[in-house]
A and B are shown apart, each in its own frame.
Chain A
Amino acid sequence: MTLLRLLGRFLRPHGRPIALIVLFQLIQSVASLYLPTLNADIIDQGVAKGDTAYVLSTGLVMLGITVLQVAASITAVYFGAKVAMALGRDLRGAIFHRVSAFSEREVSAFGAPSLITRSTNDVQQVQMLALMTFTLLVSAPILAVGGVILALQQDLELSWIIAVSVPVLLIALSLIIVRMVPQFRRMQTRIDTVNRVLREQLTGIRVVRAFVREGVETERFAEANAAVTDSALRAGRLMALMFPTVMLILNVSSVAVIWFGAFRIDSGSMQVGTLIAFLSYLVQILMAVMMATFMAMMIPRASVCADRITEVLETETSVTPPAHPVHRLEQHGVVELRGASFSYPGAEQPVLRDLDITVQSGQTLAIIGSTGAGKTTFVNLLPRLFDATAGSVLVDGVDVRELDPDLLWSRIGLVPQKPYLFSGTVASNLRYGKPDATDEELWHALEVAQAADFVRSMDGGLDAEIAQGGTTVSGGQRQRLAIARALVKRPEIYVFDDSFSALDLTTDARLRRALRADVKGATMIIVAQRVSTIVDADVIVVLEDGAIVGRGTHDELLATSETYAEIVASQLSAEEAA
């Protein structure tokens, strides 16, 4: 079972505190088992014989044991909470660490939202199960077994009542729980549906409103809501059966003990105090059994969560760091692809096929091609966000798979298609790739990226707040900040993945002019839609369905590549293209 394996693996370092938990729960349970015996003594030896001194002294002993019990159980809770919460912390840490190593392939296979849920909510479930186990469940078997032993000690003849009532309780509870678990499981998936519908509505609120779909969405939600309510009602009905059933079995057993005990007392083979003690033990045994079964209900859910966590932890990144990384590079700014291909596992068509490209130091490589041609996948190969599934990618003469990742990443400045910003300030975002950059460096990068003006006008300038994802600045501003961020890093190879699309014409033009002057000597790889962006690239590669269908300079391509000519024609006059 995955849950056990997961717990085993992550609880191993906590062996000592766990042993302490068991020890203190044992003390606690034994103490609480001992109390009814003392009570029986008080009744038999003290009350029945009118010996008040005995009542008092035994009472004091009882109090002492109570203090011991409380101390033991608080200690157990202390270690229990500590270990359980540490388990949660370690699981979260392990997942985070593992995801950090993932390539984009694994991240998109799981989906970021799912990874987030797994590293928080799912961990939560497992952690709570551990907590409950340490604070309550551990003592259940001790109480049950101890209760049985002590009850037998009190009176063997009556023990058949235990032998009957415990199985009856177990069977009754199992019958209910067996029906409940699937309901809970269904309820969980239905809650997920409700949450998913809400998530979609919130993220797409403008589209929902623009298309006047509030009614339909409300209906969709109502359906999901009704479904989850239905499951909850069913599960709740079974749950409502549980407590009365337990109480009934418990009470009927008590009555049976008194009735049959009466005969034993009448025949002189049992004392009244013994009867009362026996009764207490029976209640204790049944309560322990009930507790254990209730806890058992948590397990199905936690094990679903454990499966999901394990799935993340056992997924190997497709981009493994090299065993013997290369730490020194002789060349600077050279990028080479040798027969590089990429395909998703299970996909029929490769996204990229057999690419051979060489970019020399200081050159500009442009990639142009239709939507879905594989341009973004291509640029992601360089920083190893994906690894080529065939062929190889070389940076500065070394296969990226053999390069020290830090060295590789320090050479590349990426401006992604989606210009994601982190929460913090303008400055903290700009310093993302170079934490020790001075304000002058930041302003310089902003000037080049044509972002200085609007940053200056923001409240706080460089210290202006940026919300998560950069939602508080416009799309164009976000793109320019993302460009500035890459500029601050001063890498040897710049990668712009369609990074100018949200810019207006003027800004785009100014930016490119400033950029050209600023990054002299650096290698640039530019993915673009606008021909005007790439006309003076040293090499332009035309991608079509993942393959290179043309390469050369603008003028060469106009003459040799029909596809390129088409692209140009779609943007420029036929006259100019000629």
Chain B
Amino acid sequence: MSGPGAARGPVRRGGPGGGPFGGAQLPAEKSMTFGPSALRLLRRLAPHRLPVLAVVLLGAISVVFTVVGPWLLGQGTNLIFAGAIGQTLPAGSTKEEVVEGLRASGQSAQADLISGIDLVPGQHIDFNALAVVLGTVLVLYVLASVFSWVQGRLLNTVVQRTTFTLREEVEAKINRLPLSYFDRMPRGELLSRVTNDMDNVAQSLQQTLSQLLTSLLTVVGILVMMFITSPLLAVISLVTIPLTVVITALIAKRSQKLFVTQWRATGELNAQVEENFTGHALVKVFGRQRETEAAFGAKNEELYRASFGAQFVSGIIMPAMMFVGNLVYVVIAVVGGLQVASGALSIGAVQAFIQYSRQFTQPLTQLGSMVNLLQSGVASAERVFELLDAEEQTPDATPAETPPADGPGRLRFEGVSFRYVADRPLIDDLSLTAEPGQTVAIVGPTGAGKSTLVNLIMRFYELDAGRITLDGVDIARMTRHDLRSRTGMVLQDTWLFGGTIRDNIAYGRPDATEEEILAAARATYVDRFVHSLPDGYDTVLDDEASNVSAGEKQLLTIARAFLAEPSVLILDEATSSVDTRTEQLVQKAMSALRADRTSFVIAHRLSTIRDADLILVMESGSIVEQGSHAELLAADGAYAALYAAQFADAAPEDTAEADLR
């Protein structure tokens, strides 16, 4: 655990919180496939082959140096030991004589020990030799540090670039996904994937990759040195590996289950919090505070239990590895001690070995402790990959066709059929023509497919049958950009981005001049309320845009469309929250705007509908009537019934209203 990232454990927001939502089904949750996803994540490093190669090489070199270091230090210790023992022996005699003498006096153990040491009796520590050894070690250590620093920098660059690219791909993917994908996927869930999971992948990559590499290389390097120093002790140490693997696997298997529970609980808790905070007012007024707090408390407790379990179980890995390490340490000390005593090994070798065994178990412990981070990172990567693998919208036609730039804007539906859900036809064999400059009002009961119809014009969804043409060109043959830049849309759900009012108005035309923006604002009565705001056009709209009212938001979205000057205009209940006087004024502005362009208007207000050139009456996905207000009333069909129904109820003014014709 290094770096601040360690702070971010595997507990994250989001998590699979899907379920069947009335017809819109989430893709079935795949079971966790750790291996393939981890490989896929690694493969993403491929474009950085050269730096990665350099990283591996540098890592290997610096590991070799770190590994040779203790061996040389062992040599140093040997020199010290030789001197320390040598000076206690009578000078002038040879080592052999001393050993003989000891044997003769029955001190065979001592004799064995001394015979294993390269010493000259009577001689003190050879400081010159020691200086050479230690000097070499110092140089090696400095080099090892320099190499490992360069390696770290390179790896950092590789990881950051990889993350950068992954984020870029996610962004590009969002632009290529069909809108139906966003309808299907709960927003919180998707957001969690592109933000939380993405962050998690980046952090896991950064934290685990360098350690993973160094740890693996170190294990290999030290193992080699161990075999060189003492094959017997090396074999003992080797037992550590399967032991480590088995212990880690046993624990990780349990902890992973707990982690999955923890993520699920986190996701569910998050959904609860999100839901209750968003519907805060309702929770209060419907007196549900106690229930929501109880439900929250229960889920919170569940999350606590799961995360406690996960942290505890995965927390056992470290001490367990420590135990394995210490076990080997003791065995080596004992066996090594015996070997030194029997003269089979020098004391320096044992000391080096003990240091090796420490260095050997440390990376193994690290690998073990990284398991949970790795599990979490790969799980997140999988969720990001799922997004990247989602089916995309059909690519734009090549070569694309394009209607003349100043085309009149004749829109024609030819036998159009469309359905969101396979077995529920929504729009069936619909044909209509909107002449240039006409205003087409769409009326009909909720769920008749009015919004769907205008969505099809924007090509937000692909047709199941038939075609839609703009000035004779099939819109499916046009690029989406071309089509949409000719179309302006004001939606029922207002959406403003976090920025100033000015930027929001200029959204559809970033190059608009200040005069044009102000003109659009005046024409749509935005100017009026903006003046009452302390910062005027520089007022920054916040996340929820709570500093402007619902109606004001709608006016802003109208101003936005106004400024964009499209050749086809689509208004989906654009003024439902605007008061009628303002609406009337806006309508005037809009009718000026509509004069030379084809418009589609979905509205419930009579005033809006009455002025339309063409009224389409929709019922369950098909057009049951079309014509002007007067024609349709005269025809005494569905529209007349609709109209009568409204005004039969709407109290006294209905008759007068009907007379208005």
Contacts and interface: CB of A to CB of B under 8 A. Distances in A.
A265 B83 contact: yes
B296 interface: yes
B578 A371 contact: yes
Interface stretch (A331-339, A388-396, A438-446, A499-507): A499-507
Contact of B163 (A80, A229, A572): A229
A417 interface: yes
A161 interface: no
A464 interface: yes
A266 B125 CA distance: 6
B487 A210 contact: yes
A570 B145 contact: no
A154 interface: no
Given A81-B311, A124-B11, A504-B444, A116 B319 contact: no
B101 interface: no
A573 to B, nearest CB: 5
Contact of B199 (A191, A216, A510): A191
A174 B164 CA distance: 29
Contact of B286 (A121, A276, A409): A409
B28 interface: no
Contacts of A454: 446-447
B163 A416 contact: no
A297 B270 CA distance: 28
B595 interface: no
A93 B272 CA distance: 12
Nearest to A230: B160
B266 A258 contact: no
A116 B657 CA distance: 50
A247 B551 contact: no
Interface stretch (B231-239, B490-498, B622-630): B490-498
A202 B142 CA distance: 51
Interface in B385-426: none
B154 to A, nearest CB: 8
B333 A59 contact: yes
A214 B173 CA distance: 11
Interface stretch (B89-97, B347-355, B466-474): B347-355
Interface in A198-231: 198-207, 209-214, 216-218, 221-222, 225-226, 229
A175 B358 CA distance: 29
A512 B110 CA distance: 109
A178 interface: no
Nearest to A516: B649
A100 B286 CA distance: 13
B146 interface: yes
B159 A236 contact: yes
A466 B330 contact: no
A132 B326 contact: no
Interface residues of A, number: 197
A501 B587 CA distance: 17
A352 to B, nearest CB: 13
Contacts of A302: 7
Contacts of A416: 281-282
Contact of B284 (A42, A383, A458, A567): A383
Mostly, the B contact residues are: helix
A417 B577 contact: yes
B311 A385 contact: no
A370 interface: yes
B493 to A, nearest CB: 8
A330 interface: no
B24 A132 contact: no
A245 B142 CA distance: 10
Interface in A77-122: 77-78, 80-82, 84-86, 88-89, 92-93, 96-97, 99-100, 102, 104, 107-108, 111-116, 119-121
Given A116-B273, A128-B9, A472 B446 contact: no
Given A383-B285, A506-B642, A509-B645, A55 B4 contact: no
Contact of B651 (A89, A93, A532): A532
22 contacts: A50-B112, A55-B334, A80-B315, A81-B312, A92-B300, A107-B280, A132-B7, A194-B167, A207-B557, A209-B458, A221-B171, A237-B156, A259-B130, A265-B83, A266-B87, A298-B7, A371-B578, A420-B279, A465-B22, A505-B443, A509-B650, A532-B653
B171 A212 contact: no
A248 B495 contact: no
Nearest to A246: B145
A530 interface: yes
Given A232-B163, A468-B188, A571-B607, A59 B579 contact: no
A63 B330 contact: yes
Contact of A247 (B23, B145, B510): B145
B296 A96 contact: yes
Contact of B148 (A46, A247, A272, A466): A247
Nearest to B174: A201
Contacts of A573: 653, 656-657, 660
Given A50-B112, A113-B543, A124 B333 contact: no
Given A244-B144, A423-B275, 8 more contacts: A70-B323, A116-B277, A213-B508, A248-B142, A259-B131, A372-B551, A414-B286, A498-B550
B573 A505 contact: no
A266 B656 CA distance: 119
B310 to A, nearest CB: 8
B124 A266 contact: yes
B6 A272 contact: no
Contacts of B175: 214, 217-218
Interface in A480-496: 485, 489
B278 interface: yes
Nearest to B164: A229
Nearest to A74: B319
B77 A276 contact: yes
Given A205-B182, A297-B4, A530-B605, A385 B171 contact: no
A189 interface: no
B6 A132 contact: yes
Contacts of A124: 8-9, 11-12
Given A502-B492, A503-B604, A570-B583, A265 B8 contact: no
B80 interface: yes
